[in-house]
Structure 1
Amino acid sequence: MIRVLRSFLVAAALAAPFSAAIAQDKAQTLADIRAELGTLAGELQALRSELLAGGDAAMQAAGGASALDRMNAIEAALSRLTSETEALQNRVNRVVADGTNRVGDLEFRLCELEEGCDPANLPVTATLGGDAGGATAPAVTSLPEVNPSGMPELAVSEQADFDRAKAALDSGDFRGAADQFAAFTQSYTGGPLTGDAHFLRGEALAQLGETSNAARAYLDAFSGAPNGPRAPAALLKLGASLGLLGQTQEACVTLGEVGTRFPTAPEAVEAGTALRTLGCQ
C-alpha cells in the first residue's frame, strides 16, 4: 500500500516541474527527454494498473477517488509534453539542415572566387551547432569552464595573443593582424574569443582589399556562433562582401536574413539600406 502511494507521489512530483527540470539539465538532448517522457508514461500506466488492482484500500491510500483524476491529468500533461518535444525536434532538424545547407553553398561560391581553390576538395560543411542528428541540437553537451565571476576561462596566453592581434589591427597593420588572427583561430579553435577573431580577421582582410577572404572570415564568424554578439555584424558584412564580389542574389538573401534573424539589432537597418542599394526584390 505504501509502495503504491509513494509511486503515485513520485509520478506527480516528476510531472509537475518537468519543464523546469529540462531547463536545469542542459546536458540533455531532445532524444533523452523523449525517452524519459516515454519511461514516465509507462510507469504511470503501471501505477494505474496497480492502483486499480489494489481496490478501495489502495485508492484510499493514494488519496481517494480523485487519485485517478489526478493521474489522468498527469498523463495528459505527459502526452502534451511529448507532442511538443517531437514538434521542437522536427523544427530544430529543419533549421539546422537549412542553415547548414546555406553555409555550405556560400563556402562553395566563395571557393569558386578564390584563386587556386578547388570546390571539389572542400570538406563537408560542419553541421551548425554540432552534430544535430536525432535533433540533439538544443542540448549543450559541454560548456567552457567558468570562473567564479561567470566569465569563460581562457587558455594560457589566449587573451594576450588576441590583444596582440587586435593591437596590430588598431595600428593599421592589417596584414599582420590578419595573419595573427588566422593563427589565433587555429590555436584556440572553439574558444571564447574565436568568433571575435574570425570577425576581426575579416575586418583586416577587407581593409587589404581581399574581399573574398574577408567574406569567408565573416562566414566563419557567423557560422561558429549564429546567435552570438557578433552574429548580426558578421552576417551584415558577409552580405555586403558578397555584393562587392558580384554575387548579388546571394548577397540579397544574406542581407535579408539580418533583419529576419535580428530585427532589433542596429545592423538590421544597415542591411535594409544595403538591400535597397543592390536593388534586391
Structure 2
Amino acid sequence: MRRAAVAALLALLPAAGACVATKQDIRDLQLGMATQQARQDSMVRALISRTELMLDSLSDQNVRLRGDLANRLLAIDRQLVQIQELSGQNQAQLGQLRTQIDRAAEEARRQQAAAQQSASGNNAESADEDSGDPQQLYDAANAALRRGSITTARAGFEEFLRANPEHRLAADAQFNIGQSYETGRDNGAAITAYGRVLELYPTSPRAPAALLRMGRLELARGSRGEARLRFNAVIARYPRSPEATEARTELQRLGTR
C-alpha cells in the first residue's frame, strides 16, 4: 500500500514540474514583452523628440528666411524711394530750366519785335547782346552739363540756339551739345553735333576744337582712316591753332599704321 502511494506520488511529480515550468515561461514572456514595450516606447519618445527638434529647426530657418526676405524688401523699397527722390529732383531741375527757357524765348521775341521797329540795326544788335536772359539760359545749361545732367543741359543749349542762333555764345552752345553726347558715350551723335559747329560757325575758335574732337572720336570707334582725315583737316584749315599742334601729335601716334 505504501509502495503504491509512493509510486503514485512519483508519477505526479513530473506533471507538477511541467505545470511550474509553464507558469515561469509565462512570467518570462510577460517580462520580455514588458521590456520590449518599454524599448519601443523609448524609441517612439526619441523619434518624437527628434521630430520636434527638426520642426523647431525648420521653424527657426523659416523665421530667418522671412527676416532676410523682409530686409531685402526693405532695402529695395529704400532704393525705390531714392530713385523716386532723384527722379523728382531731375523733374524739378527740368521744370526750372523750362521756365528759364520760356522766359528767354519770350524775351527774345520782344527783342526781335523791338529790333524790327528800331531804325538802327547796330543798336538792336547791341541791345540783344546786352540782354541778360540769353546769358542766364546758357549759364543754366552749362551748370547742368557740369553736374552731369547731360539731357537737361542738351535741352537748354538747343533752346538757346533756337532763340539766339546769332549770339556770341552760339558756337559754344553747339560745341557743348556735342560734348553732352560725347559724355553720354554716343559717339555718332557727338560727331554729328561737332560737325554742325564747322557748318554753322567755321570761323569760331570752337571750330578747330570740334574738328579735333571728331578725329579722336573716329579713332575711338576704330575708323583710323577717317580719324587721319580729320586731323589733317585741322592742320590744313586752322594751322595756327593750338588744336593743329595736337592734331600733329595724333598723326605721329598713328604713324603709318
Query: For this structure pair, what is the TM-score category when the shorter chain's length is used for normalisation?
Result: 0.3 to 0.5
TM-score by length of 1: 0.43
TM-score by length of 2: 0.47
Higher helix share: 2
- RCO greater where, 1 or 2, for CA within 8 Å and sep 6 or more? 1
